[in-house]
């Protein structure tokens, strides 16, 4: 093995279907399974409206990634985007911040165990231990390379979609639509904390409806990134937003918000609306796989930008080395240390989500503004992009 590697050493194996399962798996997870509960506390049953607003904001926020992704292959994902369009100094800062932003992975692991604990009491009684175990299981999976990670991701993806559609089919008829958009249902107003609560929830849920742009981090391993990445970002975001709109109506319109919040997850609703076999399927293939796919893709995508940063000299040489499966193993180990520490410390899930969202939004401002340099830096490639627009529109 050479002393260091670069992103050119990664295998280009990911096709459109692989990218789609990664994108959808990243979107569906903490959002509807965990963060929706916190959003319910912010705005009440108008959480479905908050999801719609969040999805619209997310689509606008994804436009720069679509423009860039249809023009060039960014070998180091968002790190390369930062270096190309903002500058080397910002790219270095961005890479360091991403180490702390990776703590969101701990949120996915603890959420997964929370749902599985509703079926298996011993897991619920030892939540911290099993959160660490499940995190390390996905750590091991990612150790063996992107190809294996993508195969497991695709398997979980199909079962996940079946489970969430099943929840929606059983749940929508049970929603108390007659009084849903009034102020009488469950003796609670539609907007628990007024418009400010709705906007707070919508802002918070942009983390839940977002996630598709994570596939930019897989550009170096995609077979045809400039063609597939923009299409996948659009299709996955819109498709999941439609599903979320129906699911969040079930979250807010079947039981009082206080009961759902007391449970801390959607199992209380699922148990009420589904026969036992379907309920068990939903918990395992819906709730657990939703968080599992997000955790899986989060670990895989987080290492790519930092690997590129290490190859450029921002970190010690060991962080720019690949194992025999073409995986930046030192970064995997770093994330394991950071996230296991977050799990053991018992960091609040809602607070963790807000922290990651806050950091990510600050960085995104600079990345988005930088995209305006696209026509100047890559005039020929931008002119050929299927998403090309005028400079004024850009």
Looking at residue 353, its pLDDT comes to 61
CB 159 within 8 A of CB 152: no
In 3D space, the residue among 68, 11, 77, 79 whose CA is nearest the CA of residue 313 turns out to be: 79
Q: Compute the C-alpha angle 137/139/141, nearest 5°.
A: 70
User: Which residues are bridge partners to 222 per DSSP?
Assistant: 14
Cα separation, 92 vs 274, whole angstroms: 50
pLDDT average per 10 residues of sequence, the chain (394 residues): 60 84 77 80 91 88 88 85 90 83 81 84 90 94 89 88 92 92 86 92 85 83 88 88 87 89 85 92 87 87 86 90 90 91 76 69 85 93 92 89
Looking at residue 333, its pLDDT comes to 94
Looking at residue 7, its pLDDT comes to 66
Looking at residue 29, its pLDDT comes to 65
Looking at residue 4, its pLDDT comes to 60
In 3D space, the residue among 39, 64, 363 whose CA is nearest the CA of residue 212 turns out to be: 64
Cα separation, 345 vs 349, whole angstroms: 11
Q: What's the burial of 376, exposed, middle or buried (CB within 10 Å: 0-12/13-18/19+)?
A: exposed
In 3D space, the residue among 45, 111, 102, 131 whose CA is nearest the CA of residue 291 turns out to be: 111
313: alpha, beta or left? (left if phi > 0; alpha if psi -120 to 50): left
Looking at residue 1, its pLDDT comes to 38
For residue 118, CA distances in Å to 89, 160, 347 come to 47, 18, 21
CA 211 to chain centre: 4
In 3D space, the residue among 90, 103, 102 whose CA is nearest the CA of residue 314 turns out to be: 90
Entry pTM: 0.77
| Three-class DSSP category at 143 | helix
Reported in sequence order, the residue ranges of 164-312 that DSSP labels E, i.e. its strands, are none
Residues 6+ apart with CB under 8 A from 342: 103, 106, 352
In 3D space, the residue among 371, 319, 330 whose CA is nearest the CA of residue 78 turns out to be: 371
Looking at residue 281, its pLDDT comes to 93
C-alpha dihedral sign at 363, 368, 369, 375: positive
Residues 6+ apart with CB under 8 A from 138: 109, 292, 295, 296, 299
């Amino acid at each position: 093995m050479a002393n260091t590697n670069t992103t050119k050493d990664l295998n280009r194996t990911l096709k459109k279907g692989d990218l789609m399962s990664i994108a959808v798996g990243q979107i569906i997870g903490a959002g509807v399974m965990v963060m929706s509960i916190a959003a319910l506390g912010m705005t009440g049953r108008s959480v479905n409206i908050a999801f719609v607003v969040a999805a619209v904001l997310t689509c606008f926020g994804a436009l720069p990634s679509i423009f860039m992704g249809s023009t060039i292959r960014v070998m180091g994902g968002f790190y390369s985007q930062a270096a190309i369009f903002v500058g080397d100094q910002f790219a270095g800062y961005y890479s360091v911040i991403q180490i702390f932003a990776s703590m969101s992975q701990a949120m996915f692991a603890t959420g997964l165990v929370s749902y599985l604990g509703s079926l298996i009491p011993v897991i619920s009684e030892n939540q911290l231990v099993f959160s660490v175990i499940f995190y390390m299981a996905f750590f091991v999976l990612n150790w063996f390379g992107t190809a294996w990670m993508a195969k497991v991701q695709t398997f979980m993806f199909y079962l996940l979609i079946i489970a969430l559609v099943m929840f929606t089919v059983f749940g929508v008829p049970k929603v108390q639509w007659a009084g849903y958009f009034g102020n009488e249902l469950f003796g609670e107003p539609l907007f628990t904390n007024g418009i400010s609560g709705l906007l707070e929830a919508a802002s918070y849920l942009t983390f839940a409806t977002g996630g598709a742009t994570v596939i930019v981090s897989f550009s170096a391993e995609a077979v045809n990134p400039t063609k597939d990445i923009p299409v996948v970002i659009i299709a996955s975001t819109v498709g999941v937003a439609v599903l979320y709109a129906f699911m969040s109506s079930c979250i807010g319109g079947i039981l009082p918000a206080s009961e759902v919040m007391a449970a801390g997850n959607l199992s209380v609703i699922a148990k009420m609306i589904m026969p036992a076999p379907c309920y068990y399927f939903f918990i395992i293939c819906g709730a657990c796989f939703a968080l599992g796919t997000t955790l899986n893709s989060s670990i895989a995508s987080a290492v790519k930008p930092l690997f590129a940063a290490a190859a450029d000299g921002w970190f010690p040489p060991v962080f720019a080395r690949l194992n025999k499966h073409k995986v930046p193993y030192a970064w995997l180990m770093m994330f394991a240390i950071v996230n296991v520490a977050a799990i053991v410390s018992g960091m609040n899930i809602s607070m963790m989500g807000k922290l990651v969202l806050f950091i990510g939004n600050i960085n995104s401002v600079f990345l988005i503004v930088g995209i305006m340099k696209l026509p100047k830096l890559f005039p020929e490639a931008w002119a050929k992009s299927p998403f090309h627009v005028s400079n004024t529109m850009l």
